[in-house]
Amino acid sequence: MDDRAESGPHPARLVVLIPAHDEAANIGATLTALQRQTRRPDRVVVIADNCTDDTADIVRAHGAEVYETVGNTDKKAGALNQAIVQRFRRTADTDRRADGAPRDDRGPDRRAGSGWRAAQPVAGPSADLRDDDHVLVMDADTQLDPRFLETAAASLDSSPGTGAAGGLFYGHPGSGVLGQLQRNEYLRYSRDVARTGRVMVLTGTGTLFRVRALREVAAARGSTLPGRRGQVYDTLALTEDNELTLALKTLGWRLTSPAACSVVTEIMPTWRDLWQQRMRWQRGALENLRHYGLTRVTLRYWGQQVGIGVGVLAFQAYLVLTVLLLARDGGLHVDPFWGAVGLVFLAERLVTVRRGGRRALLLALPLVVELAYDLFVQAVFVRSLLDVLRRREATWHHVAAPATT
């Protein structure tokens, strides 16, 4: 990517895309958080995908644009592809067509309210974004840190070879012990990314993309990359954010996740919801690797999956050995060496969640609760692997989350 030119003299424009399916409970808080950004977006488009609630009306009341999908059966990826094709072929700085006829919200552009700066008009049918402009794709139930856009945009502007800046995600409060288990998990993941600088996945909760990078992905679909030519998102991928990460890396783009780019997003309120979410994530990751094969880019990802598998076997062997020793000796006898190893492990579990405060530390302290959660995650991996091998059809699960503030 060294041949990529620096940005021109024009300031990069920043457009926000928010796919939303029945998100009336949360979309208002999401848009309010966007209005608090230190770098305000130039344009905000909420993609109302097969909504049956008041999502679109709430968006208009906040002064953002609404794009309602037409006949979309490809979930989030399909909604984003539709909006990208329709919204960036023309501008949306007026509520009326050139012939004076009123616009509606299905397909053609509509501008509602005045809470965001209007898009600048361009002549003809060409796209209204330049290659070095930026597009933020974020979830409708996510709130960005106030400095997210400023920090992410600066990271792209300062490095022409960087194609995207992803967020570090943290969980909303609530949902008892299950919620805290997820928040602890997210804390450890975000800490690891911030510490190593290694971006494994550009989170769908909030990632800022360089327009040129997305256009290169769309042009490479059907040849270098899986998917249909001309589409940014592969509609066959269960986890579109994971797949797009692989696509950008395959094309040679660098990726980053600045520490200041934090987002707060939904957590699963029940074990059933969590199981279905993690099944989609894990199954999607395995399917994406199957589609991409073994390459220089995917080698690390294949190694990660092999490592998870080895971890599953090792953990199960440890549990079996512990039970056998207890049955043989009639009680628990702690060897000093293994006791010291256990204390080091406990210290690691505590240090990695200390940012989460007292509740995070109290949950990590007994060890057994988080070990049970690890067993749950490992069960998801095993089931996902079996489903991939059996070619079982995967499903998409939508959670009607409670309102966030």
Instruction: Pull the structure tokens for residue 299.
Output: 């080698």
What radius of gyration, in Å, describes the C-alpha atoms of the chain? Answer: 23
- DSSP character for 122? -
Mean pLDDT across the chain, nearest whole number? 85
Mapping DSSP to helix (H, G, I), strand (E, B) and coil, where does residue 15 land?
strand
Q: Quick check: 104 and 110 in contact, CB under 8 A?
A: yes
> Average pLDDT, stretch 267-279?
95
pLDDT interval class at 99 (50, 70, 90): very low
Give the C-alpha separation, 327 to 330, whole Å.
5
DSSP letters for 286-338: HHHHHHH-S-TTTHHHHHHHHHHHHHHHHHHHHHHHHHHHHHHHSS----HHH
Whether 158 has a pLDDT exceeding 80, the answer reads yes
Per residue in 41-87, pLDDT (tens digit) is 999 999 999 999 999 999 999 999 999 999 999 999 999 999 988 76
Q: What is the structure's pLDDT at 331?
A: 65
- % the chain with pLDDT above 70: 82
Please report which confidence band the pLDDT of residue 400 belongs to, taking 50, 70 and 90 as the band edges: low
Instruction: Give a yes or no: residue 350 inside a domain.
Output: no
DSSP one-letter code for 355: G
Say how far apart CA 88 and CA 306 lie, in whole Å. 41
Residue bearing tokens 């050139």: 98
- Contacts with 188 (C-beta within 8 Å, 6 or more apart), sequence order: 352, 353
In a domain, 382, yes or no: no
**223-255 tens-digit pLDDT:** 999 999 999 999 988 899 999 999 999 999 999
Q: For residue 169, is it within any domain?
A: yes
Burial of residue 61 (number of CB atoms within 10 Å: 0-12, 13-18, 19+) = middle
What phi and psi, each to the nearest 5 degrees, are found at residue 238?
A: -70, -35
CB-based contacts of 214, cutoff 8 Å, min separation 6: 84, 135, 232
Q: Report the CATH number that the domain containing residue 205 is assigned in CATH.
A: 3.90.550.10
What's residue 402's pLDDT?
A: 57
Confidence at residue 96, expressed as pLDDT on a 0 to 100 scale: 28
Give the total number of structural domains in the chain.
1
Is residue 298 in a domain?
A: no
Domain that holds residue 29: 14-270
- Tell me how far apart the alpha carbons of residues 23 and 376 are, in angstroms, rounded to a whole number: 29
Residue 403 lies in a domain: no
Q: Is it the case that residue 107 has pLDDT exceeding 80?
A: no
Q: Distance of CA 155 to CAs 161, 209, 254, 257, Å?
A: 10, 11, 11, 9
Q: Note the pLDDT tens digit of each residue in 15-32.
A: 999 999 999 999 999 999
Residue 14 backbone phi and psi in degrees, to 5: -130, 120
pLDDT recorded at residue 120: 36
pLDDT over threshold 70, residue 123: no
Of the two residues 113 and 181, the one the predictor is more confident about is 181
Question: Is residue 340 assigned to a domain?
Answer: no
Percent pLDDT > 90 in the chain is 68
Note whether residue 4 is domain-resident: no
Residue 322 forms part of a structural domain: no
288-334: pLDDT as tens digits: 999 999 999 999 999 999 999 998 998 888 788 777 777 776 666 66
Are the CB atoms for 78 and 69 separated by under 8 Å? yes
Q: What is the pTM of this model?
A: 0.84
